[in-house]
A = this chain, B = another copy of it.
Amino acid sequence: MLPGVGVFGTGSTARVLVPLLRGEGFEVHALWGRSEEEASSLAQELGIPFHTSQSDDVLLHPDVDLVCVYISPPLTRQIAVKALGIGKNVVCEKAATAVDAFKMVTAARYYPQLLSIVGNALRFLPAFVAMRQLLAEGYVGELQVCDARVYGPSLLDQSYGWTCEELMGGGGLHTFGSTLVDLLSHLTGARAMRVHGLLRTFVRQNGAIHGIRRVTSDDFSFFQMLMGGSASGRGAGTGTGSGVCCTVTLNFNMPGAFVHEVMVVGSAGRLIARGTELYGQRNGGKGEELLLGDSGGMGQEVKDVPLPHLRGLGSMVTALKYAFQAQKERRSWARGPVAMASTFEDGLYVQTVVEAVKRSSRSGEWESVEVMTQEPDPNQNLCEVLQINKN
């Protein structure tokens, strides 16, 4: 039985998510927006019966059993943790900080019977499902190097807001880098032990952001991850990821269609996902072969949502349908179909890597990735802000 859905957010992702959910038979009962106007406008456009700017009105809505949270990173933790506390299943975007991510992990551990996933749709994209499968089957031999790149237009909003502010989860590293950190860990079955990175903000002001306001979030970044131990038993299970070098390049000063490329190279061949298509080449083979074409579906790229994310989102919603549909209770679900999803624990790991890359960009040194195991001193954030301002 499919649960009723409440959606938080009125941005690009929320806008494409609603039709995808309906396409799989979910009913969307409620929409939350930051302001009454934003909520009302999108609810009317999409024909959602209830809208509000009060989060509790969605969380406590009697027809809502699954909450999808696609809002600005600093608000995510609060909504996700509260939803779990009320006993609702949660699919959400990443948090703003490792501390927030840790609080989400704590909540998810406390309610293990509830679904709690960080909606990194790339894991569900058929090209990456196939890539992971082929890696496990040894298509590339011993894995050596992963190389990922995303190029696209500016991620800044029309007006000054969280997208401009590094500490609020803005910037290419946080927005797209994090999905690649998660994906590469998922593909290799390993986690980053040490990282090195370089972040830049080339565009500090533009037509919409000027005067005393300046962008602090990165529009270019470049980082390396040295992979080590296995990803808590949830990886491809081959353990080949240890010792792998991953390199990621992100550039959001490149208007036009998104370039989204992930390549894995091993001793016996390589696999390359270009956009939503998967190519492979074995050493000694006569050239590159198309292993998986584009699955079709929603045709157009949406602003701020590259096609692989859009298609992945569709596959993730399908997986959610399979997880829920055979159940008798509206809130119970089967783990199988969403077993490949990114957990809140994965979310904490990803956030930890993102923060280590930022630290490396400031220090110029390789930084260790040490995933938090207990909640830090509440003054920690304040200290970090002071630290940054000092430099």
A256 at interface by CB-CB < 8 Å: yes
Chain B residues lying within 8 Å of A283, measured Cβ to Cβ, are 255
Instruction: Specify which of B147, B200, B366 is in contact with A249 (CB 8 Å cutoff).
Output: B147
Instruction: Specify which of B147, B198, B270, B364 is in contact with A365 (CB 8 Å cutoff).
Output: B364
Instruction: Evaluate contact between B198 and A220: CB separation under 8 angstroms.
Output: no
Count, chain A residues at interface, CB 8 A = 31
Give the interface of A toward B (CB within 8 A): 144-145, 147, 196, 198, 200, 202-203, 220, 222, 224, 245, 247, 249, 251, 253-256, 265-267, 270, 281, 283-284, 287-288, 364-366
Instruction: Specify which of B220, B245, B251, B265 is in contact with A254 (CB 8 Å cutoff).
Output: B265
Q: What's the number of copies of this chain in the assembled complex?
A: 2
Instruction: Specify which of B245, B256, B266 is in contact with A281 (CB 8 Å cutoff).
Output: B256
Given A222-B247, A254-B270, list of 10 further CB < 8 A pairs? A144-B253, A145-B200, A198-B245, A200-B245, A220-B245, A253-B265, A254-B265, A256-B281, A256-B288, A364-B365
Chain B residues lying within 8 Å of A147, measured Cβ to Cβ, are 249, 251
Instruction: Evaluate contact between A144 and B220: CB separation under 8 angstroms.
Output: yes
Instruction: Specify which of B255, B266, B364 is in contact with A284 (CB 8 Å cutoff).
Output: B255
CA distance A196 to B196 in the complex (A): 9
Who on chain B is nearest to A147 by CB? B249
Chain B residues lying within 8 Å of A288, measured Cβ to Cβ, are 256
Determine how close the nearest CB of chain B comes to the CB of A300; give it in whole angstroms. Answer: 15
Sample 15 A-B pairs with CB under 8 A, ordered by A number: A144-B220, A144-B253, A145-B202, A147-B249, A196-B196, A196-B198, A198-B245, A200-B245, A247-B249, A251-B265, A253-B265, A255-B284, A256-B287, A364-B365, A365-B365
Chain B residues lying within 8 Å of A203, measured Cβ to Cβ, are 267
Determine how close the nearest CB of chain B comes to the CB of A103; give it in whole angstroms. Answer: 33
CA distance A202 to B145 in the complex (A): 10
Who on chain B is nearest to A270 by CB? B254
Determine how close the nearest CB of chain B comes to the CB of A146; give it in whole angstroms. Answer: 11
Determine how close the nearest CB of chain B comes to the CB of A165; give it in whole angstroms. Answer: 21
Chain B residues lying within 8 Å of A256, measured Cβ to Cβ, are 281, 287-288
Output the residue of A266, A288, A364 with the most chain B CB within 10 A: A364
Determine how close the nearest CB of chain B comes to the CB of A225; give it in whole angstroms. Answer: 11
Chain B residues lying within 8 Å of A284, measured Cβ to Cβ, are 255
Determine how close the nearest CB of chain B comes to the CB of A205; give it in whole angstroms. Answer: 12
Who on chain B is nearest to A151 by CB? B265
